[in-house]
Amino acid sequence: ILGNDFSGVVSKVGAKVTRFKVGDEIYARPRKNKIGTFAEYIAVNEDDIALKPKNLTFEEAASIPLVGLT
């Protein structure tokens, strides 16, 4: 499955996750060599995500991460 950046809502967190909770609106560019953001769900490291700015739609937020790095 392709895809390099995404936005969405946290549906589950691991036991060691401290900065995010279920229901948080986020956007991200997963680590290098990890693709698959076109899937319905994806597991990512909490260091790779950020809270979505409230003034952005999910579509706008999803368009930023990879472009912002290039």
Domain that holds residue 22: 6-69
Whole-Å CA distances, 17 to 22, 26, 38, 47, 68: 11, 14, 23, 10, 25
As for how many domains the chain has, the answer is 1
**Could you read off the pLDDT of 6-48 as tens digits, one per residue?**
999 999 999 999 999 999 999 999 988 889 999 999 999 999 9
Kindly state the average pLDDT of the residues 48-55. 97
pLDDT of residue 51: 98
Residue 19 inside a domain? The answer is yes
Residue 26 inside a domain? The answer is yes
Residue 1 inside a domain? The answer is no
Residue 64 inside a domain? The answer is yes
pLDDT of residue 60: 97
Q: Is the pLDDT of residue 2 over 90?
A: yes
Full-model pTM = 0.89
Q: Is the pLDDT of residue 70 over 80?
A: no
Residue 39 inside a domain? The answer is yes
